[in-house]
Amino acid sequence: MRAGVPGADVCDPDQNRASLKKEEGIDLSRPFGLLHKNYKALIRVAMILICAFVAGGGIYDLVEKPSALVVVPWTERTSSVHYDRREQTLSESLSSMFFYLCMICGLIVSHRSSRVKVEARKANLMFLAGMALVILGLAGCYYLIFLRMNVGR
């Protein structure tokens, strides 16, 4: 570094890198610094996705390879729900996974609303959005059960 020269500290790359590390908290020595900092959040998201995959019948989808739509023999119409109550279609499985994720995300958003201390309006909106997601997920799951019960008639 050259002392006495105006602007000498701006051109020095070592000093800029050191100031970037201090001020913004970015570690340039590690290429995956941001992933390393957020690995706990990534593990949580992965666990939520795995739980929704298993609960929605993802393992059955991988093993059996069901069709997306089924032709009901006595009506000759296509349906996304299988007429045999022991089997499941791919559409039914994916929609149940979506509804399970809606319920889980709604519960997380509702829980996070209790941590907002200063802004009551934001907390109320977060709670309402979370409860709307939970209700959407529950209504969707009940609708799938209703379809399952009435497709055989």
Runs of H (alpha helix) within the chain: 8-11, 13-24, 33-37, 39-55, 58-64, 90-113, 120-150
H or E, element range at 79: strand 78-79
What is the per-residue pLDDT across 13-54, written as a single tens digit (0 to 9) for each?
Answer: 555 555 555 555 555 555 566 666 778 888 999 999 999 999
What is the predicted pLDDT for the residue at 41? 85
pLDDT over 60 (residue 4): no
Which two structure tokens, joined as six digits, stand for 99?
């509804």
Q: What gap in Å lies between CA 28 and CA 26, rounded to an integer?
A: 6
Rounded (10°) CA dihedral 88, 92, 94, 95: -150
> CB–CB of 92/80 below 8 Å?
yes
What is the predicted pLDDT for the residue at 34? 60
